[in-house]
């Protein structure tokens, strides 16, 4: 009997949490598309999400491209299909690695920082203070952050695509002795709009997930430093899991047919 | 002059889970008066303020500000009402990412849409009013002492010349001299603006300095109201125990 009570409680808690998150998402979307907009805050968040995340995204996609080239060559040479290296690098970077790696890196950097910042603001009553100063916290704090995530992640991934492909090129040409012109030509010939677009759509969705969950966890944090710490961890863990789940769903939508 | 209730709280209740914080709570605050709610920690003083500000929604009852019902309004709908209210938070709640002047001018720029120059001029005047010089205008909250933060918080609360000002434990965490300075500033700012003030505190020195009327909150209800003189003379055992700070009396000492 006690087990059933516990199970029921867990289920109710799950439904409550889902309801809270859904309401938060709907409110956020409403304030994202209705004026007034805080352009100054939006711009500073775009710099924070985009510009300052560039080094970490560049490094991860560079090395991902390099390692994909190396592994593909190692695996495919036994099938005498070394020429597929540029194609594999291109597809894996644009469709999967650049958006997922950028998403996970930004989740660690931006999701955590948003949760910590908003969490601290919450526990020190700064968010309450905003309301008393006739400023809607959703409009002033959350909408600019979420919009920045939606807009900047695709840009980061686009740059990540280029850098990742360059990583493959570096290994292909300087380590595996491919002809530079042939490698570039075959890469260019294999480029398809759908590969790039699917990656950018993923990036936009990941940007939304990261910033939304970072803000949600921070905005709902309780109980001082420990609560802020928990909010930060939850933001990173939940957004990382959702990134991987939505990566599969979007891949299904784009490529299943 | 002290007659019309500007805030009317009528039989509100607020719970968190199984914990009933406010039970059938009623209180009127009249125009121009300075009312102080006293009560022990965890009795629901801050919850009362948050219900009035629309940060929390009571489960039952009515809250009228300027005669208009505000209980149950959404946060956005409350923005208009809050435009006439200033609030000094317990920890000042200054925005870490903004300078002192931007903190003080915040409501003027974001809420009232004043041009920056005009808002800054008013902010500097308010800083001067709370005894802070122009030189700290560009400092950040992390550079300030507790007393200075409270002063900046007070300047922010009065910046938009509100009709009502709330003070949440204004002297908590301050040394006695700085607490007295803050109390004097509260009295002078409220008088200068002609505002109605609602404060919550358990600092009896502060109560004696800033209150026209005192209300005692215990177990989610107002159990006594009166002037400071009446408070000193009453035989009410709850008031006597609280004012004298005694562990003997009807209020149990809760040790968790």
Q: Is B93 close to A134, i.e. CB distance below 8 A?
A: no
pLDDT of B66-83, one tens digit each?
988 988 888 778 888 888
What's residue B17's pLDDT?
84
In a domain, B254, yes or no: no
B165: nearest CA partner in chain A: A132
Inspect the interface and report whether the beta carbons of B106 and A140 lie closer than 8 Å.
no
Q: Please report, to the nearest 10 degrees, the dihedral formed by the alpha carbons of residues A188, A191, A197, A198 taken in order.
A: -130
Q: How confident is the model at residue B254 (pLDDT cuts 50, 70, 90)?
A: low
When pLDDT is averaged across residues B6-35 and rounded to a whole number, the result is: 91
Question: B82–A133: do the CB atoms touch at under 8 Å?
Answer: yes
For every residue of B131-166, DSSP letters joined together read: T--GGGTT--GGGS-HHHHHHHHHHHHHTT--SEEE
A44 touches chain B (CB under 8 A): no
Please tell me whether residue B222 adopts helix, strand or coil conformation.
strand
**Is the link from the previous residue into A20 a cis peptide, with omega within 30 of 0?**
no
Residue B217 pairs in a beta bridge with B222
* Chain B neighbors of A121, CB-CB under 8 A: 95-96
Which are the contacts of A181, defined by CB distance < 8 A and separation ≥ 6? Answer: none
Structural domain containing residue B192: 5-244
Task: Give domain limits for chain A.
Answer: 39-255
Q: Could B78 and A120 be called an inter-chain contact, meaning their C-beta atoms sit closer than 8 Å?
A: no
Distance from CA of B209 to the nearest CA of A (A): 25
**Residue B29 pLDDT exceeds 80:** yes
Instruction: Report pTM.
Output: 0.89
**Which residues lie closer than 8 Å to A196 by C-beta, 6 or more apart?**
A94, A158, A161
Predicted pLDDT of residue A81: 77
Chain A residues whose beta carbon lies within 8 Å of the beta carbon of residue B80: 134
Q: Across the interface, do A128 and B93 touch by the CB < 8 Å criterion?
A: yes
CA gap B123, B11 in Å, rounded: 38
Q: Closest-CA residue in chain A for B168? A: A125
Which parts of A133-223 fold into alpha helices (H)? 137, 143-174, 180-190, 193-219
pLDDT at A228: 93
ipTM score of complex: 0.88
pLDDT (0 to 100) of residue B1? 47
Question: Do B53 and A120 count as a contact with CB atoms less than 8 A apart?
Answer: no
Task: Please write the tens of the pLDDT for every residue from B105-161.
Answer: 999 998 888 999 999 999 999 999 888 888 999 999 999 998 899 999 999 999 998
The percentage of residues in chain B with a pLDDT greater than 90, rounded to a whole number, is 54
Is residue B203 one of the residues assigned to a domain?
A: yes
* Beta carbons of B94 and B152 less than 8 angstroms apart: yes
- Cβ <8 Å between B93 and A135: no
Assigned domain for B253 exists: no
pLDDT of B255 > 70? The answer is: no
- Which chain A residues are within 8 Å of B95, Cβ to Cβ? 121, 126, 129-130
Q: At what angle do helices A193-219 and A2-33 cross, to 10 degrees?
A: 110
Half-sphere exposure of A6 (CA within 13 A, CB side): 3
What is the pLDDT averaged over residues B227-242? 91
Residue of B nearest to A129 (CA): B93
The C-alpha of B234 sits at a distance from chain A's nearest C-alpha, in angstroms, of: 36
Closest CA relative to residue B9, chosen from B53, B40, B55: B53
CATH number at residue B16: 3.40.50.300
The full length of chain A comes to 257
Per the rule left: phi > 0, alpha: psi between -120 and 50, beta: everything else, A34 is beta
Partners of residue A40 in chain B, C-beta under 8 Å: none
Series of mean pLDDT values for 10-residue runs along chain A (257 residues): 89 93 95 92 96 96 96 86 88 96 96 95 93 91 97 97 96 93 92 94 97 96 89 95 96 88
Residue A134 has what pLDDT?
Answer: 85
Q: What residues of chain B lie within 8 A of the CB of A134, using their CB?
A: 79-80, 82-83, 107, 110-112
Q: Which residue of A has its CA nearest to B83?
A: A134
Minimal CA separation from A61 to chain B, in Å? 32
Q: Judge whether B208 and B11 are in contact, CB under 8 Å.
A: no
Give the torsion sign (CA, B153, B155, B156, B161): positive
- Angle among Cα B102, B108, B112 to the nearest 5 degrees reads 145
Which helix (H) or strand (E) is A192 found in, with range? none
In angstroms, what separates the C-alpha of B219 from chain A's closest C-alpha?
A: 23
Number of domains chain B contains: 1
In whole angstroms, give the CA distance from residue A215 to residue A141: 8
pLDDT number for residue A53: 96
Question: Is B256 part of any domain?
Answer: no
Give residue-wise pLDDT tens across range B51-65.
Answer: 999 889 999 999 999
Report the alpha-carbon distance of residue A29 to residue A130 in Å, rounded.
20
Q: Report yes or no: B26 and B9 within 8 Å, Cβ to Cβ.
A: yes
């Amino acid at each position: 009997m006690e087990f059933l009570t516990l199970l029921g409680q867990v289920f109710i808690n799950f439904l409550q949490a889902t309801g809270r998150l859904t309401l938060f998402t709907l409110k956020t979307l409403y304030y994202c598309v209705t004026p007034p907009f805080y352009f100054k805050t939006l711009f500073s968040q775009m710099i924070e999400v985009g510009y300052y995340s560039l080094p970490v995204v560049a490094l991860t996609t560079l090395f991902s491209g390099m390692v994909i080239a190396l592994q593909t060559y190692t695996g495919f040479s036994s099938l005498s299909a070394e020429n597929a290296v540029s194609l594999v690098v291109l597809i894996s970077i644009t469709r999967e690695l650049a958006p997922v790696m950028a998403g996970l890196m930004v989740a660690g950097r931006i999701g955590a920082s948003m949760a910590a910042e908003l969490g601290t603001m919450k526990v020190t009553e700064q968010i309450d203070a905003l309301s008393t100063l006739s400023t809607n916290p959703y409009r002033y704090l959350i909408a600019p952050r979420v919009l920045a995530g939606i807009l900047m992640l695709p840009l980061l991934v686009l740059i990540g695509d280029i850098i990742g492909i360059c990583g493959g090129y570096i290994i292909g040409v300087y380590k595996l002795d491919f002809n530079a012109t042939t490698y570039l030509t075959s890469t260019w010939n294999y480029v398809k709009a759908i590969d790039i677009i699917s990656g950018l759509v993923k990036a936009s969705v990941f940007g939304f997930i990261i910033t939304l969950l970072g803000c949600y966890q921070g905005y709902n944090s309780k109980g001082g430093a420990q609560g802020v710490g928990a909010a930060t961890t939850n933001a990173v863990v939940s957004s990382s899991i959702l990134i991987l789940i939505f990566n599969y769903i979007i891949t299904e939508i784009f490529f299943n047919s | 002059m002290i007659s019309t209730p500007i805030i009317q709280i009528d039989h509100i209740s607020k719970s968190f889970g199984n914990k009933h914080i406010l039970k059938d709570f009623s209180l009127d605050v009249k125009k121009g008066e300075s009312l102080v709610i006293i009560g022990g920690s965890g009795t629901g003083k801050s919850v009362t303020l948050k219900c009035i500000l629309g940060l929390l929604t009571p489960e039952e009852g009515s809250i009228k500000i300027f005669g208009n019902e505000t209980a149950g309004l959404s946060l956005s709908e409350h923005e208009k009402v809050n435009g006439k209210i200033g609030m000094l938070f317990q920890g000042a709640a200054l925005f870490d990412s903004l300078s002192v002047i931007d903190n003080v001018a915040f409501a003027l720029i974001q809420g009232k849409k004043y041009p920056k120059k005009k808002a800054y001029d008013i902010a500097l005047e308010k800083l001067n009013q709370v005894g802070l010089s122009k030189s700290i205008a560009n400092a950040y909250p992390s550079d300030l002492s507790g007393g200075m933060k409270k002063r900046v918080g007070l300047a922010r609360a009065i910046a938009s010349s509100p009709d009502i000002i709330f003070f949440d434990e204004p002297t908590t965490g301050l040394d006695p001299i700085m607490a007295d300075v803050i109390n004097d500033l509260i009295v002078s700012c409220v008088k200068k603006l002609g505002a109605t003030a609602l404060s919550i505190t358990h600092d009896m020195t502060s109560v004696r300095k800033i209150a026209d009327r005192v209300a005692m909150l215990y177990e989610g209800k107002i159990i006594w109201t009166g002037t400071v003189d009446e408070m000193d003379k009453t035989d009410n055992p709850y008031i006597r125990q609280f004012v004298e700070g005694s562990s003997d009396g009807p209020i149990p000492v809760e040790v968790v």
